[in-house]
Structure 1
Amino acid sequence: MKQLSRRQFLKGAAGASILGFLATTCGYGYARYIEPRMIDTVSMTIRDAQLPASFDQFKIAQFSDVHLSDTFPSKELESVVQQINAESPDLIVFTGDLVDFQASIEEHEKAKAYLTKLHAPFGKLAICGNHDYGPFGIDLYEKTMEDCGFTICKNDVFPLEKEGAHIQIATMDDLMMSVPDYDLIKREVSSDLFTLLLVHEPDAALELDTIPINLQLSGHTHGGQVQLPFYGPILTAPFGHTYVEGLYGSYQHRIYVNRGLGTTRLPLRFLAKPELTFFTLSSRI
């Protein structure tokens, strides 16, 4: 029999302890019914000298990992859309996982009523997450998002222009359920332009550590979804072990991991609040 390392043993014991706490005390009620509805609005400024002056104060709204289900029905999107539109972003990006395994096809249709109301002058972009390739197939996800005015992006690099200046946007398909084209990113991303990378799983950055990515936006991890005080996430997702939540890196390659809005597998959040993120780009260092 394979023996557990001390770290594995402690991690397992810690996980059992927190789950026991959540199951046997009022902590369960908090993790099940309160924290999953406590959407945290995160605003940050990304300063980068490579950003063209015309993009100074350009605002990007990111939302991720909705996981439509009984625990996050489409109706919950109403307040999300209101919060995003209230910030008047220039660009809106969705970083994958609209559905969950339990989601009904009807929830797709209901979600359209809300997602259609999102507005941004430079458009709405969506990439694919692993769950979007799940029970109903990727075609339904793509049709839903396109009907709502989103542009579906897979393995692409393209410019975004403002007042004659450009930044570039790079996108990758899902790492778990599709074929991400790392070679395309390595070949097409120009070091001369400020680059925004959209990819569902954050650990894609490990393969792109020598590529000049000014800002990578990802989701997937839910911030661990359940964390221990002073310890962090009990479990982390595949391709989300290294970068779990928040901002990492430096000017060479910044990575931001959004904790998402919904839940999967367990309808719980503990010390990992759902999140909307707003980035203001600044050329002033």
Structure 2
Amino acid sequence: MTMTRRRFLKNIVYSVLGFLGLSGGGYYYARYMEPAMLTTQTHTWNHPKIPTSFNQVKIVQFSDIHLGFHYSIDQFKDLIQKLKAEKPDLLVFTGDLVDEPQRYHFSSEIPSLLNELEAPLGKFWIYGNHDHGGYGTEKLEAVMSKGGFTLLKNEVTELRKDGESISLAGLDDIMLGSPNISGTLNQLNDDTFSILLVHEPDIADRVKDYPVDVQLSGHSHGGQVRIPVIGSMVTPPYGEKYVDGKHLISDRLTLYISRGIGTTRMPYRFLCKPEYSVYTLSSNP
């Protein structure tokens, strides 16, 4: 197989980061400073199908914490306080709570902290690939359930407010789970505003064939390390085409990708600050 120029450049950068590190202040910034610079991305969804009763409803998405890989329980505590301060109406977690479930010690603090989060329309989560890895499937389900979160595994739920509703769907992880794309998304109604949670963003190219209005994903970490001219260095499978931000996939489907909270593969972030996202619904024309 012929190595492309882009792949060749990526391999060079991986080698530099892995064996030599970023030099001087650059290394210190990427290793210790930027990974702690948690930011908030805010978006307003103005859509004719959003019911009047859902006007100004606030949805908070967080993703890819990767506890255990250079992300501590103390950092997790700080994150919980920031999420609480947002006072979300709906809270969604789009996967990868722990980096290596088979090695991580799940303390009772984790579900206790998750239980501190409140959202009147519910707290929902989906599996990421790391959540299924290392026999973590059952462990993560138990932890998140004790934390008051509802798993959406190839399921659709209706969120109701003042007699009106929107749809929230969730798929099992694309890489290591058993996603049922058609069986799940065919349950959605064309006339009802619908949101899909799926860990891997690139699946949007298949999701666009179904009645989904918004897809929320994580997985890519936004590229995690961005080198000017070269681009994003951490682009996992199903997170290579759509890496960060907002993408109009079709006339109907809009994709939003969270850069996530923690790191994976390498404990660096460079020109790619961690984030959680706040979405405000608007029913105004």
**TM-score clears 0.5:** yes
Partner-residue secondary structure (3-state), 2:144? helix
- Determine the structure 2 residue equivalent to 1:280: 280
Determine helix, strand or coil for the equivalent of 2:207.
coil
- Structure 1: unaligned runs, 5 residues or longer: none
The CA deviation at 1:55 is 0.5
Q: Which residue identity is paired with 1:280?
A: T
Cα distance 1:230–1:284, how it changes in 2: closer, same or farther (>3 A)?
farther
Task: Give the conservation status (yes or no) of the 8 Å contact 1:64–1:258.
Answer: yes
Alignment of 1:250-269 (within 5 A): 252-269=252-269
Matched, 1:229 2:221: no
The answer to whether the Cα contact below 8 Å between 2:69 and 2:99 also exists between their aligned partners in 1 is no
User: 1 CA distance for matches of 2:160 and 2:35?
Assistant: 37
CA RMSD of aligned residues (A): 2.0
Tell me, yes or no, if the aligned pair for 1:75 and 1:111 is still in contact at 8 Å: no
Query: What's the secondary structure of 2:190's corresponding residue?
Result: coil
Deviation for aligned residue 1:284: 1.6
- Per the alignment, residue 124 of structure 1 pairs with 123
Q: Distance in 2 between matches of 1:187 and 1:70?
A: 37
**Judging changes above 3 Å, is the alpha-carbon distance between structure 1 residues 177 and 4 closer, same or farther for their aligned structure 2 residues?**
closer
Kindly tell me the number of residue pairs found equivalent between the two proteins.
284
Partner secondary structure for residue 159 of structure 2: strand
Q: Which moved more, 1:88-97 or 1:16-25?
A: 16-25
Encode CA deviations 1:18-77: one digit per residue, 9 max, x unaligned: 778843332111111111110011111111111111111110011001100151012212
Shift in Å, 1:210:
2.1
Structure 1 distance, partners of 2:226, 2:132, is 27
CA distance in 2, matches of 1:191, 1:68: 38
Q: More deviation in 78-87 or 275-284?
A: 78-87
Structure 1 position 149 matched with structure 2 position 148:
yes
Instruction: Quickly say closer, same or farther: Cα 1:3–1:217, change in 2 above 3 A.
Output: closer
SS state at 1:207 partner:
helix
Alignment TM-score, normalising by the size of structure 1? 0.92
- Counterpart-to-counterpart distance in 2, 1:98 and 1:7: 30
Structure 2 CA distance for aligned equivalents of residues 281 and 232 of structure 1: 32
Deviates more, 1:23-32 or 1:176-185: 23-32
- 5 Å-filtered alignment, 1:193-208, equals 193-208=192-207
2: CA distance between counterparts of 1:6 and 1:266? 22
Amino acid at match of 1:188: Q
Structure 2 unaligned runs (5+)? none
Q: How many angstroms does 1:17 deviate by?
A: 6.2
1:114 aligns with 2:132: no
> Is the contact made by 1:213 and 1:253 (CA closer than 8 Å) also made in structure 2?
yes
For structure 1, which segment, 101-110 or 50-59, has the greater mean C-alpha deviation from structure 2 after superposition? 101-110
Q: Could you tell me which amino acid in structure 2 is paired with residue 272 of structure 1?
A: C
Asked if 1:57 is matched to 2:56, the reply is yes
2:94 counterpart residue number: 95
TM superposition shift of 1:84: 1.4
Q: Distance in 2 between matches of 1:65 and 1:223?
A: 11
**Identical residues among aligned pairs (%):** 42
